[in-house]
């Protein structure tokens, strides 16, 4: 029987699933998710990602079942699986969403494309997110994003006529079989569309009232933020449906709810950033490995300090706010934007660590790891994009501003509970007599900072500004802005939106 294959990737839902909808218009389908061992061996893969995936697949499987269909989850390399399937039961078309993933999934996609060409199988890839494949001109991007999110969401099919797999698949591998580490955050979010919808509803109807004013402090952020990132990364929700649900909610709120409306508007701008950042990796996959601005090559790479990296990963830098964030991440798999930025900035400036190994470590820590956002942000917070004004977060000031009473650091660092309020920000400076009185000792219960913060940050800034000031580095900036910079739309006297001048663009990401 003639049929097409729908290859599910990071789009684990039936609603607003363009690839499935297209395929069903041409007859029966065989729906496939492929667990690819080579991808799970990657330095950015973690057990929490695998378990979240399995939870999401389980939910999707039940959705299929309710519609008389079936999702097949198989283990193997994509080309080998497709080849075996084609040999046993030839299909006429392959459907999937476009994927902007890491270098491994990119190479895998090129191999699949080659296989399809060799077998004269058309591979129809539908647009995913508001990301444009083959984008020629960044100036057009905002309009393309608007168009994409404005199109109606596709309903989930009422029934799904499905083909069966022509073999019996053995049990799926475990995380350990795939070579993944055993440890995972005990308090991480769980996968699946059912939970994703609950999180979206609770955010739009209630929690988003705290979005404005609540997203910066790690105390309020876990509830004030939407917490949708992992569900977007795994595609349990489509970006478009989240944008449209938010727009509806915005329309439903009366002007009396101005604060709430401002929060929801700010949230929609983050959804725009989501795609804006993924577009960078889509347009230039090399930024996973190479400095976005090549003038920064050699900037930190040759000064790698393993002791600094180990202290950071172990949550033993000595700066309570940094160490508490590392602990929270280990337990929950999530941190708010500001604390992520502070972690990377601390790694990049006072600890002077290259963004690549830090990025791989954090990719495994973040449940919502999305390569396009992640690597762009790693570079941005490390100052290697060359187009963003460097933001250097001082962890002591962050504690002062966002955890003045030490509630956060005491939650995650038990020894801090014995430190009196006066010494919360710089506990290593506590006089010995007080250490004895409170039974909390520097060098034993509390770490000494790995470097002197002020001096090391000053040195880092000097190096950065010396490089930024070099004529050839300044000259090469324009090209990066042209390719990746955000375009603020300004209005001319004729009311025609145009891109902001390059000098303004660099500040517009945040």
Interface residues with ligand FAD (CB under 6 A) are 215, 225-229, 232-233, 267, 270-271, 273-274, 277, 336-337, 340-341, 344, 366, 368-370, 373-374, 377-378, 381
Give CA separation, 338 vs 101, 178, 342, 465, in Å: 24, 33, 6, 23
Element (H, E) at 30: strand 29-35
The residues facing 95 across adjacent strands are 6, 124
Cβ atoms of 78 and 5 within 8 Å: the answer is: no
**C-alpha–C-alpha distance, residues 181 and 183, integer Å:** 6
Task: Show the CA angle centred on residue 457, arms to residues 454 and 460, nearest 5°.
Answer: 150
Q: How far apart are CA 148 and CA 98, in angstroms?
A: 14
Residue with the two structure tokens 């580095």: 473
**Residue 441 and residue 270 in contact, taking contact as beta carbons nearer than 8 Å:** no
Q: Is 72 helix (H, G, I), strand (E, B) or coil?
A: strand
Widest Cα–Cα separation across the chain: 83
Question: To 10 degrees, the CA torsion angle through 134, 137, 142, 145?
Answer: -10
Place of tokens 């000792």: 441
- Nearest CA to 30 out of 6, 57, 64 is that of 6
What residues pair up with 126 in beta bridges, in sequence order? 97
Q: Cα(118)–Cα(260) distance, rounded to whole angstroms? A: 54
Q: Are 308 and 163 within 8 A, CB to CB?
A: no
How many secondary structure helices (H) and strands (E) does the chain include? 23, 7
- In degrees rounded to 5, what are phi and psi of residue 253? -80, 135
Q: Rounded distance, CA 120 to CA 137, Å?
A: 31
CB 197 within 8 A of CB 191: no
Separation between Cα atoms, residue 322 and residue 344, nearest integer Å: 10
**CA 349 to chain CA centroid, nearest Å:** 22
């Amino acid at each position: 029987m003639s049929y097409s294959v729908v290859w599910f990737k990071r789009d684990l839902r039936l609603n607003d699933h363009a690839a499935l909808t297209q395929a069903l218009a041409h007859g029966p389908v065989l729906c496939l998710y492929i667990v690819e061992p080579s991808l799970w061996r990657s330095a950015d893969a973690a057990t929490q990602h695998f378990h979240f995936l399995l939870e999401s697949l389980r939910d999707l499987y039940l959705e299929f079942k309710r519609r008389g269909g079936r999702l097949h989850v198989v283990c193997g390399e994509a080309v080998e699986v497709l080849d075996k399937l084609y040999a046993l039961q030839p299909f006429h078309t392959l459907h999937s969403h476009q994927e902007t993933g890491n270098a491994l999934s990119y190479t895998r996609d090129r191999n699949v494309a080659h296989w399809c060409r060799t077998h004269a199988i058309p591979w129809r890839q539908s647009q995913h997110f508001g990301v444009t494949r083959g984008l020629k001109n960044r100036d057009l991007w905002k309009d393309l994003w608007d168009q994409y999110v404005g199109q109606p969401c596709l309903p989930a099919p009422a029934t799904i006529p499905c083909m069966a797999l022509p073999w019996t698949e053995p049990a799926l591998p475990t995380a350990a079989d795939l070579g993944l580490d055993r440890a995972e955050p005990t308090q991480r979010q769980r996968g699946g569309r059912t939970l994703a919808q609950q999180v979206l509803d609770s955010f739009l109807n209630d929690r988003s009232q705290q979005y404005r004013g609540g997203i910066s402090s790690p105390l309020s952020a876990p509830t004030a933020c939407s917490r949708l990132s992992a569900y977007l990364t795994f595609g349990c929700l489509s970006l478009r449906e989240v944008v449209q649900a938010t727009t509806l909610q915005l329309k439903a709120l009366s002007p009396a709810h101005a604060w709430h409306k401002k929060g929801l508007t700010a949230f929609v701008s983050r959804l725009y950033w989501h795609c804006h950042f993924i577009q960078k990796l889509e347009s230039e996959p090399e930024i996973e490995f190479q400095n976005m601005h090549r003038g920064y090559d050699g900037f930190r790479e040759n000064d790698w300090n393993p002791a600094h990296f180990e202290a950071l990963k172990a949550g033993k830098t000595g700066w309570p706010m940094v160490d508490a964030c590392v602990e929270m991440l280990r337990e929950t798999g999530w941190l708010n934007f500001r604390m992520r930025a502070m972690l990377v900035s601390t790694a990049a400036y006072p600890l002077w660590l290259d963004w690549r190994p830090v990025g791989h470590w954090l990719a495994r820590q973040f449940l919502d790891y999305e390569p396009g956002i992640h690597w762009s942000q790693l570079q941005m917070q490390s100052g290697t994009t060359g187009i963003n004004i460097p933001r250097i977060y001082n962890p002591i000031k962050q504690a002062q501003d966002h955890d003045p009473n030490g509630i956060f650091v005491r939650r995650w660092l038990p020894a801090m509970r014995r430190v009196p309020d006066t010494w919360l920000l710089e506990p290593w400076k506590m006089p010995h007599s007080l250490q004895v009185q409170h039974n909390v000792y520097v060098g034993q219960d509390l770490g000494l900072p790995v470097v002197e913060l002020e001096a090391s940050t000053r040195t880092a800034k000097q190096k950065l500004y010396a490089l930024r000031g070099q004529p050839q580095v300044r000259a090469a900036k324009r090209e990066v802005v042209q390719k990746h910079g955000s375009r603020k739309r300004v209005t001319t006297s004729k009311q025609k939106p145009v891109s902001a001048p390059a000098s303004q663009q660099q500040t517009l990401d945040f």
